[in-house]
Amino acid sequence: MKKFLAMMLAASLTLALTACGGAAAGSADSGSTSSDYKIAMITDSGDITDMSFNQTTYEASKAFAESKGVDFQYYKPTEDSDEARVAAFNNAVADGYNVVVVPGYLFAGMIASVAEANPNVTIIALDVSQGDFEGAGMTTLPSNVCSFTYQEELAGYMAGYAVVKEGYKKLGFLGGMAVPAVIRYGYGFVQGANAAAEELGNTADVEVNYVYGGQFFGDEAITATMDTWYQGGTEIVFACGGGIFTSACEAAVKVDGKVIGVDVDQSGTIGSQYGVEGLCVTSAMKGLAATVDSTLTDLFDGNWSKHSGKVENLGIVSGDDPSLNYVQLPTDTWTMKNFTIDDYKALVSDMNSGKIKVDSAIEAMPSTTIKVTEFDNIH
């Protein structure tokens, strides 16, 4: 992952990002130096040990601050509410932090409440979409805010395609809450599995169970559903939604089942937590750490205008080197045998060229020739 972050940072410098809005007050573009900055990170409904979104954002922000020798602190809201997130933000500002990094759509309301009133605080948001901001009453981002979204459908497609090519036929998708990012992961996963099955000529044998847990953490009810799936023949589940992977893993280890990680390479952490090497076959990743690192680098280097007031949608930027993309599968921990890294590179090249097209629509389950069984939300 260190190699990936470094390569992604280099790639980010080649992206043609058009400025939108003026420089944020107090940003590097307005004459501040790196010593003027103090970086804070606020968690969403999870925490910094979730082995997913919060943890990656926390670790990337902390590592950058340490590399620059500036203060860093993270804040955990007292509850899952806009009011608690605003309070956490205000606490950070009161403590002197003027760069705030936040992960997830839940922060749209907080940003809408605090951004214009705090023009000297730079806010970097991950996975907060234009629609999220508009839903919170903010139609235009102020110049001290930027946000990044990802083309999750592409990462999901890669994962679904890979595991079917590897030989898995009985698949599952366990989403957290049915929010756009999770749905794009799931629908991309189904599309990839379907494409691979059609190429292999085994569409009659490949099937997907599909459900949302209705939350971003596992519990007994979700584990019970996963037990039913695995004991009924499901071989591998794409667990997509913060800590909800725990329910899939708990059920999988009972029957030697497998899981697919999400957002970051979860193979090592999942394997260590459950004491089962190879439990996590692959992960549908997006470049969270690379985004944090490259954006903070631009801020500190005086290039905030590249991001000011923008929502940037990140995906594939290279068809030649998959490690440069903002959506990908991890190759450093590759364990698949039938689907090789060369196969993966060919897949990414075809996706980049447009030979393979992935639908990003989230209104309805994609049409497939494989069987997809949708279940009611668990919660």
Look at residue 156 in the predicted model and tell me its pLDDT. 98
User: What distance in Å separates the CA atoms of residue 152 and residue 31, rounded to the nearest whole number?
Assistant: 36
Cα 239 from Cα 230, distance rounded (Å):
13
Please report the beta strands in the chain, taking only residues with DSSP state E, as ranges in sequence order: 39-42, 72-75, 99-103, 122-126, 145-150, 170-175, 207-212, 236-240, 258-263, 280-286, 311-314, 327-328, 371-374
Report the chain's C-alpha Rg in angstroms. 20
| Measured CA distances, 239 to 52, 242, 251 (Å) | 11, 9, 12
CA 377 to chain centre: 21
State how far the alpha carbon of 236 is from the alpha carbons of 56, 123, 280, 343, in Å. 24, 38, 9, 20
Res 269: pLDDT: 86
pLDDT of residue 24: 38
Fold observed for domain 152-285+326-374: Rossmann fold (3.40.50)
| Dihedral of alpha carbons 352, 357, 363, 369, sign | negative
| pLDDT of 28 | 44
Six-digit token pair at 268?
Answer: 């090592």
pLDDT at 32: 57
- 193, amino acid identity: A
For the chain (379 residues), the mean pLDDT of every run of 10, in chain order, is 41 36 40 78 89 90 97 96 97 98 96 98 96 96 97 98 98 96 97 98 98 96 98 97 93 98 92 92 94 96 97 95 94 96 98 98 97 98
Equal CATH topology for 2-150+288-314 and 152-285+326-374: yes
Cα 219 to Cα 54, 60, 130: the distances in Å are: 19, 28, 32
Residue type present at position 309: G
Domain ranges of the chain: 2-150+288-314, 152-285+326-374
Q: What are phi and psi of 261, to 5 degrees?
A: -80, 175
d(CA 324, CA 321): 6
pLDDT at 33: 61
pLDDT at 257: 98
Sign of the alpha-carbon dihedral angle for 237, 243, 244, 247? positive
Tokens of 129: 């979409």
Give bridge partners of residue 42 from the DSSP assignment.
Answer: 75
With CA atoms as reference, report the closest residue to 73 among 106, 116, 40.
Answer: 40
The residue among 327, 315, 288 whose CA lies nearest residue 159 is 327
CATH topology of domain 2-150+288-314: Rossmann fold (3.40.50)
Q: How is residue 176 written in tokens?
A: 């957290």
